[in-house]
Amino acid sequence: MIELNQITKSYTRGEETLQILKGISLSIVEGDFVAIIGPSGSGKSTLMNTIGLLDSPTSGTYMLDGVATENMSDNGLAELRNRKIGFIFQQFNLLPRLTAIENVELPMIYAGIPAKQRRERAQLMLEKLGMGQRGHHKPSELSGGQQQRVAISRALAISPSLILADEPTGALDSKTGIEVLELIQQLNEQGNTIVLITHDNHIADNARRVVTLRDGEIIKDVRNQPLPAQVSKQEALV
Ligand code: ADP
Ligand code: MG
C-alpha cells in the first residue's frame, strides 16, 4: 500500500539546511497496524505528513496504492488524499463552528457525495463510535474523548484505505487514551490499515509492527504480531 523509497526532507533556516528525514525507505502492506515511535523532534510528524500527502519530500519516491506521487499537481495530491486517507490528530482538529455530524460530513463534501447520503453515512459512523446521540453537539460541548471519537468517525467517513493517527491519545487522560487506542485497534481488526505515530512506547506495544525513528532515520523495525488473515473490505467499512 505504501512504498517510500529514500525519502529526504530538508528545511533551510537562515544559512543552514536542516535535514529532518535522512533517507527513509519503508513499505507498509494493507491490513497492517504500524506504530512509528521515537523521541520528540525525530521527524515522526514530518514522516506522517509525507505519507498523508500533506507535505512533499525534498527527494525520494512515494507510491500510494500503486500510484506514483512525486510528479502530481497539488490538485491531484489533494484528490488522492481526500479519497484514500483518513486523519486523526492529537488536537482532534474539529471545526468549532460545525456540529459533530457536520464535521463528520466534511470529507464527504470534498468527495462530492450527495447531501442525503452524507448525512446517513455520518450518522452511521457516529453510531459506530458510540456517538450516535451526539451529532448535534458542537465540539466545545463534548469531552476530549468524545471529540476524538467524532474525529475518528470523520476519518472513517470516506472509507479510507489508510488511517493516519498522529499522537491520537496525546491530549487525553490515560483512561480515555486507552479507550481511543482500543477503538483504533478494533478498526485494524476490522480490516483498516493504520499508521499510528506516538512517542509513548506503551502505546506502540499494541501495534503489529513498530518502527523506531531517531534523528530522521529508521533505527529499528520490529514485528510484534502477524498480519491479520484477509478481512473482507466490505465487512470492514460498515
Ligand atoms: P516529531 O513529530 O518526531 O516530534 P517533527 O517531524 O515534528 O518531529 O519535527 C522534526 C524536526 O523538524 C524538528 O526539529 C522540527 O523543529 C523540524 N521542523 C518541522 N517542521 C518544520 C518546518 N516547517 N520548518 C523548519 N523546521 C521544521
Ligand atoms: Mg510530532
Q: Is the CB of 41 under 6 A from ligand 1?
A: yes
Q: What residue's CA is closest to ligand 1, atom 7?
A: 45
pLDDT (tens, 9 = 90+) of the chain, 238 residues, equals 999 999 999 999 899 999 999 999 999 999 999 999 999 999 999 999 999 999 999 999 999 999 999 999 999 999 999 889 999 999 999 999 999 999 999 999 988 899 999 999 999 999 999 999 999 999 999 999 999 999 999 999 988 989 999 999 998 888 888 888 998 998 899 889 999 999 888 888 889 999 999 999 999 999 999 988 765 454 544 4
Its ipTM equals 0.96
Distance of CA 216 to the CA centre of its chain: 19
Enter the C-alpha cell of residue 95.
Answer: 471545526
How many whole angstroms separate alpha carbon 197 and alpha carbon 195? 7
What residue type is assigned to position 59 of the chain? S
Q: Which residues contact 206 (CB under 8 A, 6 or more apart)?
A: 33, 35, 181, 185
Q: What pLDDT is stored for residue 231 in this prediction? A: 54
How many whole angstroms separate alpha carbon 124 and alpha carbon 189? 19
Distance 45 CA to ligand 1 centre (A): 7
197 CA closest ligand 1 atom index:
2
> What's the 3-state SS for 217-236?
EEEEEEECCCCCCCCCHHHH
Q: How many CB atoms lie within 10 A of CB 119?
A: 17
Task: Name which of 60, 83, 78 is nearest 3 in CA terms.
Answer: 60
Enter the C-alpha cell of residue 148.
Answer: 476524538
Choices 3.40.50.300, 3.10.20.600, 3.60.10.10, 1.10.1270.20: CATH for 31-59+73-223: 3.40.50.300
Q: Is the CB of 76 under 6 A from ligand 1?
A: no
Q: What pLDDT is stored for residue 237 in this prediction? A: 46
- Judged by DSSP in three states, 102 sits in helix
How many whole angstroms separate alpha carbon 210 and alpha carbon 229? 19
Q: Best substitution site from 7, 46, 213 to test ligand 1's pocket, by max atoms within 8 Å of Cβ?
A: 46
Q: What pLDDT is stored for residue 238 in this prediction? A: 40
In the sheet that holds 59-64, the strands lie side by side as 16-28, 2-13, 59-64, 67-68
Q: Best substitution site from 7, 9, 11, 211 to test ligand 1's pocket, by max atoms within 8 Å of Cβ?
A: 11
Ligand nearest to the CA of 165: 2
Angle (CA) 92 94 96, round 5°? 130
According to DSSP, the residues that pair with 85 across neighbouring strands are: 162
Which chain residues have CB less than 5 Å from ligand 2, an ion? 44-45
Distance 53 CA to ligand 1 centre (A): 16
